[in-house]
Every structure is written in C-alpha cells, then in structure tokens.
Structure 1
Amino acid sequence: MELPVIDLAPYLEICSDELDSHIKSMCLEVSRTLRETGALLVKDPRCTAEDNDKFIDMMEKYFQQPEEFKRLQERPHLHYQVGVTPEGVEVPRSLVDEEMKEKLKAMPKEYQPSSPSGPDPKWRYMWRVGPRPKITCFKELNSEPVIPEGFPEWKCTMDSWGYKMISAVESVAEMAAIGFGLSKDAFTSLMQQGPHLLAPTGSDLRRYGKEGTVFAGYHYDLNFLTIHGRSRFPGLSIWLRNGLKMEVKVPVGCLLIQAGKQIEWLTAGECMAGMHEVVVTNRTTDAIKQALEQNCSLWRVSSTLFAHIASDAVLKPLGHFSDSSLASKYPPICAGEYVEQELAVINLKGNKGA
C-alpha cells in the first residue's frame, strides 16, 4: 500500500466559502486518509523541492559542526524547546510507557517495532515559527529562538521554510475540518499563536549507519499535525490504524503530514495519533553507499515541523465529536499543560517516567 498524494493547488485557488463537489471530495479524502492511516502525502506549490534542499543543505552544515560548538545552543532549562537537543537525551516513548510495552508484545511479530536500547542517538534543533502570545501561562513553551554563530542565513532560511510548511499544515487542517464535518476554521482558530516548532533532526550515518540502528524509537507526536519535507535518506515507518506497518516513501516535491495527539483529542479518537519510528533499513544503507560515492553528507536530516494548538487553548472534543462515546477519554485540558506532561515522560523536562 502507498499513501495517496493530495495536490493542494485546487483548494488554494478557491476564492469563496462555496466548495464545489471536487473540493468537497478532496476534503473527505484528507479526513478519511488521516483517520485510516494517521498520515498523508501532499503537494503544495508554495513548498518546492528547491526550498527543502536549501534547508537541508544548511542543516547538514550545522550538524557536521563539532559537538562542543553545537552544545552552545543547548537549553535544557527550557525543556529543550528551543535550540539544540543533543543525541542521547530524548527517550523513546516505547521504553518508558508500560501500557505501550504491553501493546507491543501483543502485536504480530512482523509488525512489531524495532527495540531501542536507550535514548535516541539523534540530534534535534528546535526553532520557533510564527508569533507567540504576549501573555501566557507557559513561558518555557514560548521562549525566544537561539541562533548559532557563523550562520548568517540561519534566521531567513529557518523562517522561510517554517512559514511555508505552516501554511501547508493550515490548508490541510481546514480541509480535514471540512471532511470531519466541522467548520472550516475549527482547527486553525485554535492554532493561532501556537508554539509551532521547526524541529529538524540530524542523525550521523557515519557513526550510526548500521542496519537496524534505531534513530527514533516507536512513538506518537504530542502536537497537532507534524509535517516533513523529503529526507535524503529513507528510514521512516508508520503504523496504520489496522495495525499494519508501512515504510514511507515521500516522492520528490511532496510533504508528509502525520496526525499528532492533539488532533486525536479534538476528534475524540476519530483520528488517532499516528505511531512511527525511524530505523536504518536496507534502503538507508543503499542511500549511504550512494552518498559516499558522490562525496555527499552522511548526516540524515529530517525537515520536520511540529504544528501545535496554542498553549493556553483548551483541548477537548470539538462539535459533534463531543457526543462520541469515547469523548470522556479526552477530558478538557490546556494544550500547554498536556505538552508539559508529555515532555516529562520522554525526558525533555528532566523527569524520566513521570
């Protein structure tokens, strides 16, 4: 099975709130695919392959810097929500969540995720995208960005790619809302001034390029929707709603969108957060050989952006989802409070297993 590719261009061209049958069917396809697979491939004319390449080129250059240089951008007191997170810090959910461990044991062997031996051996850089609220109860989640020295193009490149990907997420969020039978702005109105994070990861394939190495252990994303540009090295696998595991192939010029925990909350579980992992596969090792032959970087960069619901907004089932038999599993909670709880579990708040 392959994920369908939704071309956003026709939706972006509509000039009124009147949707024709083709656009309505596109919106239904978006909501159906997110419901069934937790993931979606899109083409957005505002986000080009050249934009993605420019961004990855810069991040490869950054991750290749010495460790002591990168650690200057580390901000553990801000829950690593800005600046760099070194390798060996983030703990995969599947290592610390007892309920998840039991579910994994019950899976058929061929669909079970890889077993990480400890924290993820990946670096990550967190960059804030978009305006932040002047008054908030969650200051650590809305801190000022960190800019490394020696990268004069940093802010422009990060903001340019970040804003473009946020625009794509907002369009998909509108289409999903329509497809789910909600108002067009049901999700996007809650995203305003959210703590959106452009959060590229860097994995050193020269050191960790052995097949089977787990870069990101089995987990879900705690945010609303996650969007990725195409990586130069494969390795991402997702689990569909029916439990099947699927390696994701992102075509050139396309973006991958994944459902996070916040959209699960807002739809009372109609759209579940998508489970996924990043592991060195035989396709990854083939790409490593090719990169070596062409003298290219051996850092695997993911151009990931986490789109969030605003920290002070309340997560609760929206519209008709509040009548769902599962709505009680998703009680009202401030999005920022929920995020802080999740960060504690995966060791980004200095509190393992809380």
Structure 2
Amino acid sequence: MELPVIDLAPYLETSTKLRSESDCTNLGPEMKSLCEEVSRTLRETGALLVKDPRCSAEDNDKFLDMMEKYFEKPEEFKRLQGRPHLHYQVGVTPEGVEVPRSLVDEEMQEKLRAMAKEFQPATPTGPDPKWRYMWRVGPRPPNTRFKELNSEPVIPEGFPEWKATMDSWGYKMISAIEAVAEMAAIGFGLQKDAFTSLMKQGPHLLAPTGSDLRRHGQEGTVFAGYHYDLNFLTIHGRSRFPGLNIWLRNGQKMGVKVPVGCLLIQTGKQIEWLTAGDCIAGMHEVVVNSRTTDAIKVAIKQNCSLWRVSSTLFAHIASDAVLKPLGHFADSPHGGIYPPICAGEFVEKELAVINLKGRKGEP
C-alpha cells in the first residue's frame, strides 16, 4: 500500500472564495470529497502526503543544506545551544537525551509483544542517538501560564542566514498544515476553522533532527524508537536518507517514501483528543534500513554530507487552549477517555515521560 498524494492547490484556490472562516456551504461536491479523503486517510493511516505550491523542493533543500552544515559542527559548539532548563523546547537537544516512549511505557510494551512478528518495531536499547534543534515559529501569546513552552529562540553563532531560513521554511510548512487542518475539519463534519482557531499562537516548533550516519549508519540502528507525537499534526519535508516506518490503524507496518516536492503529515496526540479517538496519533519509528545504507554509499561517492536531517515541524494547539472532543465528537462513547485538559499541561506531562522535562512522570 502507498499513501495517496493530495494536491492542496485546488483547495487553496477555493478556500479564498469562502465567505467566512467557518463557511463550508460554498464547497462543491468535488472539494467536499477531497476533504473527506483527507480525513479518511488521516483516520485510517495516521499519515498523508501532500503537495503545496507554496513549499518547493528548492526551499526544502536550502533548509537541509544549512542544517547539515550546523550538525557537522563539533559537539562542544552545538552544546552551547542546549537549554535543558527549558525542557529542551528551544535550541539543541543532544543525542542520547530523548527516551523513546516504547522504552518506558509498559502499556505500550505489552501491545508491542502482542503484535504479529513482521509488524513489530525495532527494539531501541537506550535513548535516541539523534540530535534535534527546536526553533519556535510564529507569534506567541503575550500572556500565558506556560512561559517555558513559549521561550525565545536560540540562534547559533556563525549562521547569519539562520533566522530567515528557519522562519521562511517554518511558516511555509505551517501554512500547509493549516490547509490540511481545515480540510480535515470539513471532512470530519466540523466547522472549517474548528482546528485552526485553536492553533492560533500555538507553540509551533520547527524541529529538524540530525543523525550522524558515519557513526550510526549500521543497518538496524534505531534513530527514533517507536513512538507517537504529542502535538496536533507533524509535517516533514523530504529527507535525503530514507528510514521512516509508520503503523496503519489496522496495525500494519509500512515504510514511507516521500516523493520529491511532497510533504508528509502525521497525526499527533492532540488531534486524537479533539476527535475523541476517531483519528488516533500515528505510531512511527526511524531505523537505518537497506535503502538508507544504499543512500549512504551514494552520498560517500558524491562527497555529500552523511548527516540524516529531517525537516520536521510540530504544529501545536495553543498552550492555554483546552483540549477536549469537538462538535459531534463530544457525544462519542469514547469521550470519557479524553477529559478536558489545558494543552500546555498535557504537553508538560508528555515531555516528562520521554525525559525532556528532567524527570520521569505519568502520561
């Protein structure tokens, strides 16, 4: 099975003609059908490939070039951008810090043991051997209960193009997420702005990972152990080295190939909360496989960087907004599993579990 590729251009053209933020009555049958395909794909697979005319392959390459240059810097330089006292929510997270959920969540481990052998994820032996850089994108609320989740960005020395490159690519990917969020809302039978209104001034993070394939390029190396994302929706530009596996709702494991010029979107825990589990957080991992090692050989021949960079952006619900099932999802029999909780409080609890808040906690 391959994920469908949704071209956002027709929707972007149509949505500008809608009378108001929540007006969906002017959408024709073809556009409604496209929106339903978006919500159905997210529900069934937890992932979606999209083409957005505002996000080009050249934009992605420019971003990857800069991040490769950064991750190739010595460890002592990169550690200067670490902010552990802010839960690593800005600046760099060194390798060996983030703990994959599957390593600490006993309930998840039980589910993994019950999986068919061919669908089981790779077993991590410890924290992820990947670096990550967190860069805030978009305006932050002037007043918030969650200041450490809305901190000032960190700019490394020697990168004059840093802010412009990060903001440009970050804003473009958020625009793609907003279009998908609107289409998904319409497809789920909600108002067009049901999700996007909650995203305003959210702590969105452009969060590229960097994995050193010279040191960790052996087949089977787990860069990101089996986990879900705690945010609303995650979007990735195409990486230069493959390795991402996702799990469909039916439990089937699938390697993802992102075509050139496309973006990959994955469901996070916050959309699961807002839909009372109708759309669940997509499980995924990043593991060195034979396609990765083939790409490593090509990169060596061409004298290219051997850092695997993912251009990942985490789109969040605003920290002070309340997560709870929306619209008709409030009447779901599963609604009780998703009680109202402040999005910032939810994020802090999740960060504690994966060792980014400085202490282990309950999910």
- Tell me the TM-score normalised to structure 1 length: 1.00
Residues 224, 309 of structure 1: 8 Å contact kept = yes
Deviation, 1:20, is 1.1
| Equivalence map 1:60-99=2 (5 Å) | 60-99=68-107
| Equivalence map 1:218-229=2 (5 Å) | 218-229=226-237
Which residue is 2:4 aligned to? 4
Residues 1:44 and 2:77 are matched in the alignment:
no
Deviation, 1:233, is 0.1
Which residue is 1:352 aligned to? 360
Residues 91, 135 of structure 2: 8 Å contact kept = yes
Residues 1:135 and 2:143 are matched in the alignment:
yes
Residues 1:145 and 2:153 are matched in the alignment:
yes
Cα distance per residue 1:16-46 (max 9 Å; x no partner): 2211111111100000000000000000000
Cα distance between partner residues in 2 of 1:202 and 1:83: 13
Which residue is 1:261 aligned to? 269
Residues 34, 40 of structure 1: 8 Å contact kept = yes
Report % sequence identity: 85
Residues 39, 257 of structure 1: 8 Å contact kept = yes
Amino acid at match of 1:283: R
Residues 47, 264 of structure 2: 8 Å contact kept = yes
Deviating above 4 A after TM superposition, structure 1's stretches of 4 or more consecutive aligned residues are none
Cα distance between partner residues in 2 of 1:108 and 1:63: 37
Deviation, 1:352, is 2.6
Residues 169, 225 of structure 1: 8 Å contact kept = yes
Cα distance between partner residues in 2 of 1:38 and 1:281: 22
Q: Which of 331, 339, 350 pairs up with 2:347?
A: 339
Residues 1:174 and 2:175 are matched in the alignment:
no
| Equivalence map 1:228-243=2 (5 Å) | 228-243=236-251
Cα distance between partner residues in 1 of 2:290 and 2:361: 33
Q: Which of 260, 263, 275 pairs up with 1:252?
A: 260
Cα distance between partner residues in 2 of 1:301 and 1:181: 37
Residues 97, 353 of structure 1: 8 Å contact kept = no
Which residue is 1:16 aligned to? 17
Cα distance between partner residues in 1 of 2:334 and 2:291: 40
Residues 41, 255 of structure 1: 8 Å contact kept = yes
Q: Which of 51, 58, 62 pairs up with 1:54?
A: 62
Residues 1:216 and 2:224 are matched in the alignment:
yes
Which residue is 2:298 aligned to? 290
Deviation, 1:353, is 4.8
Cα distance between partner residues in 2 of 1:352 and 1:316: 25
Residues 258, 264 of structure 2: 8 Å contact kept = yes
Cα distance per residue 1:215-261 (max 9 Å; x no partner): 00000000000000000000000000000000000000000000000
Amino acid at match of 1:84: V
Which residue is 2:23 aligned to? none
- Tell me the TM-score normalised to structure 2 length: 0.97
Cα distance per residue 1:111-135 (max 9 Å; x no partner): 0000000000000000000000010
Which residue is 2:131 aligned to? 123
Instruction: Name stretches of at least 5 consecutive residues in structure 1 with no aligned partner.
Output: none
For the residue of structure 1 that corresponds to 2:211, the secondary structure is strand
Cα distance between partner residues in 1 of 2:122 and 2:82: 29
For the residue of structure 1 that corresponds to 2:50, the secondary structure is strand
Amino acid at match of 1:160: S
Amino acid at match of 2:309: V
Q: Aligned residues, how many? A: 354
Q: CA RMSD in A?
A: 0.5
For the residue of structure 2 that corresponds to 1:13, the secondary structure is helix
Cα distance between partner residues in 1 of 2:84 and 2:298: 36
